[in-house]
Amino acid sequence: MAVKEMTSKELHARIDAGDSVFILDVRNPNDFEDWKIEGKTLRQVNIPYFDFLEEDEAVYNQLPKETEIVVVCAKGGSAQMVAEQLDEKGYSTSVLEGGMLSWSQFYHPVTVSTGEDMKLIQLNRLAKGCLSYMVISGGEALVVDANRHIEEYMALAKRENVKIAHIIDTHLHADHISGGAALAQETGATYYLSSSEMQGSTALPYEPLEQHETLKIGSVNAKVLAVPTPGHTPGSTSVLIDDRFLLSGDTIFVGGLGRPDLGGKAREWAQSLYDTVFKTVAALSDDVLVLPTHFADIKEINENGYVGATLGAIRASNEVMRNEDREAFTEKVAGASGATPPNFEEIVGINRGEIQVTAEQATDLEIGPNRCAVHHS
Amino acid sequence: MNADLIVDAKGLSCPMPIVRAKKGIDSLQSGQVMQLEATDKGSVNDFQGWIKQTGNEMLKMEEDNGVYRFFVKKA
């Protein structure tokens, strides 16, 4: 038998189809604990590749003979070595091509809604827990919160036969590098971001989002409203489409609220978040579907294959959305925010256009999980 | 620091630095010291994991212009 290569897309398709997939992750236990492939029906063990260098048969005890084993490492090299070794012992193996590096660059598009006037697609970058959106109407597209692999959006636009005309970042991202400005440059689209997020930086060309309350996509009037929802950052803006879909950025997640502490002014920003939740968002109906920019847990992917929940469901499952006590709210959201996203200060600088990095440096900076949600239950 | 064996793994990517390290250590007697040089950043964490796993002793670790140098005493 030979060791097969499996692309991230193939691996995802199998996990998505509910096939039984067995992953052997051969990275360092620390790296594995910090960040790994997740899936609802996944079986997974972590045995570092260097354990396979010792002639100790015990390492094989945890591995099934009857199931194909997908071997995963950081970039593919160690997984190949281990897979070959397993192959010689009669195991059926394949290697995740490009390892976690490739997994971190895999985007899965899912159509959330499709109608005569408008189509809404969520692009899920699973490894990072990053979600971005394409709103299509009348031959044009609006892209919201594009990640840095802009070819994904261009390919999707091509498949949908539409022209990308508008690009919005709901806020200045701290956990991943934005593709907004680069995508705008490549496509000739307009890039919008709330100007308060730039703090005076003029390194990137952008259109102040606060000067565009409504946007027109194509010839058809899908109603696109830019709603200021400060809190996670002062210029955080949500995009309300047809009064039915709220692209909420990092303001509201399926599992809670965006953390207000990344600017070093947690209590102050928490006040803005309070007003956003109990004034602006309170005015929206329970039926509005909230589509955030991140998810914290694979379980947030719903039965339709996308991450999102109605505002009613989110209100019902998050006590912090119901208790109007301002002081208690502040304590809760400003208090327990946990570890900051890795390299967030540098990423913010890049997204403001103040720091330039190579693709390789960008990859290193982004490695690891997302940490933008407040983890409170 | 004096080493009994110098292993050059510069320019090699994962898993080769650890494979070379394993071969190197296997050729030594208990108490002898191996010096390993690598340029693969990803190997640094892995190297520490491997040392821990094998029970050898990391005497010193240094970085010099992108070259990581490890001194390991065989258990």
What are the chain A neighbours of B19 within 8 Å (beta carbons)?
53, 81
Q: What is the Cα–Cα distance from A113 to A245, expressed in whole angstroms? A: 10
In this predicted structure, what is the pLDDT of residue A375? 44
Q: Which residues of A touch B40 (CB under 8 A)?
A: none
Q: Which residues on chain A are in Cβ contact (under 8 Å) with B46?
A: 27-28, 48-50
Question: What mean pLDDT, rounded, does chain A reach?
Answer: 90
pLDDT value at residue A263: 81
Contact (CB<8Å) A50/B22: yes
Domains of chain A as residue ranges with CATH: 4-103 (3.40.250.10), 108-366 (3.60.15.10)
SS3 A91: coil
Instruction: Kindly list the domain boundaries of chain B, sorted by start residue.
Output: 5-73
pLDDT bin (cut points 50, 70, 90) of residue A220 is low
Active site residues of B: 14
Task: Using CB atoms, pick whichever of A50, A54, A81 lies closest to residue B49.
Answer: A50
B50-73 confidence digits (pLDDT tens): 998 889 999 999 999 999 999 999
Do B18 and A81 count as a contact with CB atoms less than 8 A apart? no
Per CATH, the number for B5-73 is 3.30.110.40
What is the C-alpha separation between A290 and B59, in angstroms, rounded?
54
Checking if the pLDDT of A290 tops 80, the result is yes
Instruction: Note whether B75 contacts A: Cβ–Cβ < 8 A.
Output: no
Is B37 an interface residue toward A (CB < 8 Å)? Answer: no
pLDDT value at position A123?
98
Question: pLDDT tens-digit profile of A54-65?
Answer: 878 889 999 999
Cβ burial of B5 (10 Å; 0-12, 13-18, 19+) is middle
Between A265 and A172, residue with greater pLDDT = A172
Residues A227, A240 contacting (CB under 8 angstroms) = yes
Q: What is the 3-state secondary structure (H, E, C) of A238-282?
A: EEEECCCEEEEECCEECCEEECCCCCCCHHHHHHHHHHHHHHHHH
Beta-bridge partners for A72? A25
A29 touches chain B (CB under 8 A): yes
Give the closest-approach CA distance of A171 to chain B in angstroms.
Answer: 32
- Identify the three-state secondary structure at position A174: coil
Q: How confident is the model at residue A293 (pLDDT cuts 50, 70, 90)?
A: very high
Q: Do B18 and A50 touch (CB under 8 A)?
A: yes
A to B CB pairs, distance under 8 Å: 43
Above 90 in pLDDT, residue A147?
yes
Q: Work out the average pLDDT over B21-48.
A: 92
